[in-house]
Amino acid sequence: MPAMPPAHWDLFCRVVDNLGDAGVCWRLAAALGRRGVAVRLWIDDPGPLAWMAPEGAAGVTVRPWSDPPPDGEPGAVVIEAFGCDPPPGFVERMARRTPPPLWINLEYLSAEPYVERSHRLPSPQFSGPGAGLTKWFFYPGFTPATGGLLHDDAAVDEAAARAWLQQQGWGPAAGERIVVVFCYRNPALPGVLALLALRADRPTRLLVPPGPAQAQLAGLPLPAGLRWTALPHLPQADFDRLLAAADFNLVRGEDSFVRAQVGAAGAFLWQAYPQADGAHAAKLEAFLDRYLAGAAPGVAAVVRQAFRGFNALAPLPATWPAPAAWQAVHRAWRERLLAQDDLCTQLLRFVGSR
Judged by CB under 6 A, the residue of 5, 7, 16, 215 near ligand TRH is 16
Which residue blocks in the chain are alpha helix, DSSP H?
20-34, 49-52, 88-96, 114-118, 158-168, 189-198, 212-218, 236-245, 255-262, 279-291, 297-310, 323-338, 343-353
Q: Which is nearer to ligand TRH, 62 or 325 (CB)?
A: 62
The answer to whether the beta carbons of residues 25 and 41 sit under 8 Å apart is: yes
Is residue 209 close enough to count as binding ligand TRH by CB under 6 A? yes
Q: Which is nearer to ligand TRH, 42 or 320 (CB)?
A: 42
Is residue 252 close enough to count as binding ligand TRH by CB under 6 A? yes
Compute the least distance from the CB of residue 41 to ligand TRH, in Å: 14
Is residue 21 close enough to count as binding ligand TRH by CB under 6 A? yes
The answer to whether the beta carbons of residues 114 and 121 sit under 8 Å apart is: no
The span from the CA of 75 to the CA of 14, in Å, is 19
Maximum Cα interatomic distance, the chain, rounded to a whole number of Å: 67
Name the residue number minimizing CB distance to ligand TRH: 20
Is residue 239 close enough to count as binding ligand TRH by CB under 6 A? yes
Is residue 261 close enough to count as binding ligand TRH by CB under 6 A? no
The span from the CA of 177 to the CA of 175, in Å, is 7
The span from the CA of 193 to the CA of 205, in Å, is 11
Q: Nearest CA to 78 among 113, 117, 130?
A: 130
Judged by CB under 6 A, the residue of 112, 152, 247, 254 near ligand TRH is 254
Is residue 140 close enough to count as binding ligand TRH by CB under 6 A? no
Q: Which is nearer to ligand TRH, 307 or 320 (CB)?
A: 307
In Å, how far are 16, 24, 28, 119, 151 from 13, measured between CA atoms?
9, 9, 11, 20, 20
Compute the least distance from the CB of residue 327 to ligand TRH, in Å: 22
The span from the CA of 133 to the CA of 126, in Å, is 8
157 given a catalytic annotation: no
Compute the least distance from the CB of residue 201 to ligand TRH, in Å: 30
Set 240, 247, 254, 342: catalytic member:
254
Judged by CB under 6 A, the residue of 41, 52, 78, 302 near ligand TRH is 52
254 given a catalytic annotation: yes
The span from the CA of 207 to the CA of 245, in Å, is 11
Q: Which is nearer to ligand TRH, 135 or 252 (CB)?
A: 252
Per-residue mark of binding to ligand TRH, 95-134 (x: CB under 6 A) = -------------x--------------------------
The span from the CA of 209 to the CA of 105, in Å, is 30
Set 21, 80, 107, 112: catalytic member:
21
Is residue 170 close enough to count as binding ligand TRH by CB under 6 A? no
**Residues belonging to the active site:** 21, 254
